[in-house]
A = this chain, B = another copy of it.
Amino acid sequence: MANPPIVCMVTDFGNADSYVGEMKGVILGICPGARIVDLTHKIKKYDVAQACYTLARSHLYFPAGTVFLAVVDPGVGGSRRGLAAKGGGKYFVGPDNGIFSFLMRDAETAFHHLAETKYFLGSISSTFHGRDIFAPVAAHLAHGVAVEDLGPKIEDPIPLPDIRPVRDKGHLLGKIIHVDDFGNLISNITAGDIRDSFGSKAVSIILGEGDRIIEGIKGCYEDVEKGEALALFGSGPFLEIAVREGRAEQILGNAAGSRLLLKVKS
């Protein structure tokens, strides 16, 4: 017997309302065997970039065939398109607002415009396409409908602007995308970005407006003393700023959106 299909959800709907539950009801009505996983529903409201980064790191840990249902949708009810994508053996369904930008670097990824309304609910509200369009489409994908049947292939999905770090005069300028529940500051800078800019040279990391400098990239928390700040590649592909046995957010005073500048250690 084939493995049960997985639908993995990421939204900014929070855990208090019944919205996510209604989407699950719709999914199970169409694909009764689906395993539904909540990646998170606590994306900052309307923060498409945060959802994009979350998917970029997390989708790697799910098996081939997983359908990712991503709904952070400030343009709901307007003219933005709905998308389904296939890339790396996985599927992605959501609005065409840049939430899948991380997939656009891979030429193999195919994007389709959700034009086949027969895969939507019969009645579409103006405010909740997550339940009325994206959930049923994701469920049909999970249930075996081919991504090509959902609508025509498109070549111009809309990317997010300004989400990659910028190289300038030998510096690398990134930003904090997310502060996690432990207070760690997660940036948009990958090991590849650092290698491309600095090779194997040691780097200094300047936080915010220069108020704090962290020297070098460590391997684990134990490489510094308790209460000391460090930069490391934690559990994802992005450089993190942490404080051993402390909350970097509180101690350093940096928040999501603040900048960090990398340069060769002088």
Choose from B18, B40, B74 the contact partner of A54 (Cβ within 8 Å).
B18
Q: Which residue of B lies closest to A66 (CB)?
A: B25
Interface residues of A in 85-123 (CB under 8 A from B): none
Q: Which residue of B lies closest to A37 (CB)?
A: B24
Chain B proximity mask over A127-154: 1 for CB below 8 Å, otherwise 0? 1100110000000000000000000000
Chain B proximity mask over A34-45: 1 for CB below 8 Å, otherwise 0? 011111111001
> In whole Å, how far is A62's beta carbon from the nearest beta carbon of chain B?
4
Number of copies: 3
Choose from B26, B32, B127 the contact partner of A221 (Cβ within 8 Å).
B127
> In whole Å, how far is A30's beta carbon from the nearest beta carbon of chain B?
9
Choose from B6, B14, B22, B28 the contact partner of A35 (Cβ within 8 Å).
B28
Question: Within the assembled complex, what's the spacing in Å between the Cα atoms of A262 and B15?
Answer: 31
Of listed A14, A18, A57, A232, residue having the most chain B CB within 10 A:
A18
Which B residues are in CB contact (< 8 Å) with A32? Answer: 3-4, 35, 63
Q: Which residue of B lies closest to A23 (CB)?
A: B61
The verdict on A257 contacting chain B, using a C-beta distance below 8 Å, is no
> In whole Å, how far is A129's beta carbon from the nearest beta carbon of chain B?
9
Which B residues are in CB contact (< 8 Å) with A6? Answer: 25, 28
The verdict on A13 contacting B220 (CB below 8 Å), with A22-B61, A25-B37, A63-B29 known, is no
Which B residues are in CB contact (< 8 Å) with A57? Answer: 18, 22
A234 touches B126 (CB 8 A): yes
Question: Within the assembled complex, what's the spacing in Å between the Cα atoms of A14 and B66?
Answer: 24
Which B residues are in CB contact (< 8 Å) with A235? Answer: 19, 22, 125, 127-128, 131-132
Q: A25-B62, A28-B35, A28-B62 are in contact. List 5 more A-B contacts (CB 8 A).
A: A19-B180, A28-B37, A29-B62, A126-B220, A126-B232
What are the 3 tightest A-B residue pairs by CB atom distance, in nearest-first order?
A128-B235, A126-B220, A14-B181
Residues of A within 8 A of B (CB): 3-4, 6, 8, 10, 13-26, 28-29, 32-33, 35-42, 45, 54, 57-58, 61-63, 66, 74, 76-78, 125-128, 131-132, 178, 180-182, 219-222, 232-235, 242, 245
24 A-B pairs in the complex with CB atoms less than 8 angstroms apart: A4-B32, A6-B25, A8-B21, A16-B42, A16-B180, A17-B42, A17-B181, A18-B58, A21-B58, A22-B61, A23-B61, A24-B37, A25-B61, A25-B62, A28-B37, A28-B62, A32-B35, A74-B245, A77-B222, A126-B220, A127-B232, A127-B234, A127-B235, A127-B242
